[in-house]
Amino acid sequence: MSFIKYIFIFFISTGISFAEEVPLTFNLMEVMEDAEYRKIDYRALINFKSPLTAQTVKPYLYDKDEGKLIPLGDYRLNRTQNIALDFSYYNREKLFLIFLLNDVGFNFNDIRPAQIVCFTPIKNDYLATVVDCNFATTATYMMALDQNIEDLINVSSINIWFDLMDEDIFDTQTFQNFIGMFTVGMTYLVRYPKHLSLDMVNTGFIKIFSTVVQDYMLRISSRYNAEILSYEKLLQRLSNGYSDFGYKVDKDKTLLYQTALSGVPLAKKHSVYLDDFFSGVRDLHFINKTAYRLVGLSYDKSTQNLRWLKWPWMKHVVIAIDNKKEVIVTDNHYVLPDSFSKITITPYGTRGKFVKSVFTAQSIIGITL
């Protein structure tokens, strides 16, 4: 509910006529504070757009500013893949709905072992939208998943996931090629569920497959490329069905790509990169120059907070101020001192350093929010 509505309710409840000249004695700040902390009713009509079908969904409300994650129950999905959500919460700027789709698979299979995660922002108290839910959003969440937290959907993982879904990272050929490499592997397992391991059935699709995603991203962090033999070897930890996986994909890629590359339009448009990868002709490399440096740099002058986005192959950054003080930062932000002449930010992977970014006190104004 807007602030204007609260003012109107105030006048009605106190009996004040707009035609009368009555001195206003209420405290404006108290009314504003009341408006901020009063819960309002939300309604969300969601249609899931996916190449696969889910049988159940668990939605969450996520308040990014407060770091609160609230489960909203469990819902069965019909063939239209729609749900209607009604809930009450405060009027916040950064609210999101997070969805965990379960029992996901192809309609022609009785066994539907997969899970998918996706999200949508909440801009108003009424929301009617189509949400893209596919293996691309899910593989990206697997990269972000904190394996030390028991809950599959958690605040720490969501925050990293949101960074990786930022257009500066996600909308690049390099990133979508790597995502496509993983989603093809996920699609194969779901299309041919006879290759499922007992561990995956008992522990969960995302938990188990994310170990492959994160382990292979660690390899990319040290070698800056992906090659089919090492990828096959890692996949075979999950199932023997991945033996000669490159050959199987090359033979069946038309069917697999149709599902696997949903959500990664660049990988789909330039599928020659994945064609060459799975056929063993050429490895996947960093294509975009930005893959070697931090992206999304921004500076908040009021808090002196410098923020950036890290590629998943970057582990930490080293910050040097005026070529003297060096600080290792594993997070994605740093509060700058009151005065400095030059700041150097160098991202590091397992293998070594990437391309540094250098700012002066004057040039940093150019990235001020």
Q: Which domains does the chain have, with CATH numbers?
A: 1-37 (no CATH), 41-133 (2.60.40), 167-285 (no CATH), 293-367 (2.60.40.10)
Task: Give the integer Cα–Cα distance in Å for 120 and 83.
Answer: 14
pLDDT tens profile 95-148 = 999 999 999 999 998 889 999 999 999 999 999 999 999 999 999 999 999 999
Contact criterion met (CB below 8 Å) for 232 and 239: no
pLDDT grade, residue 91 (50/70/90)?
very high
Q: pLDDT at position 99, please?
A: 98
C-alpha 74: how far from chain center: 22
Contact criterion met (CB below 8 Å) for 152 and 142: no
pLDDT grade, residue 338 (50/70/90)?
confident
Instruction: State mean pLDDT over 274-293.
Output: 96
pLDDT tens profile 265-280 = 999 999 999 999 999 9
Q: What is the dihedral angle through the alpha carbons of 75, 79, 80, 85, rounded to the nearest 10 degrees?
A: -10
Task: Give the integer Cα–Cα distance in Å for 136 and 165.
Answer: 10
pLDDT tens profile 78-87 = 999 999 999 9
Q: How many CB atoms lie within 10 A of CB 292?
A: 17
User: Which residue reads 């970014």 in tokens?
Assistant: 357
Over 50: is that where the pLDDT of 3 sits? Answer: no
Residue-averaged pLDDT of the chain:
90
Q: pLDDT at position 24, please?
A: 47
Instruction: State mean pLDDT over 251-265.
Output: 96
Contact criterion met (CB below 8 Å) for 66 and 92: yes
Over 50: is that where the pLDDT of 15 sits? Answer: no
pLDDT grade, residue 27 (50/70/90)?
low
pLDDT tens profile 183-192 = 999 999 999 9
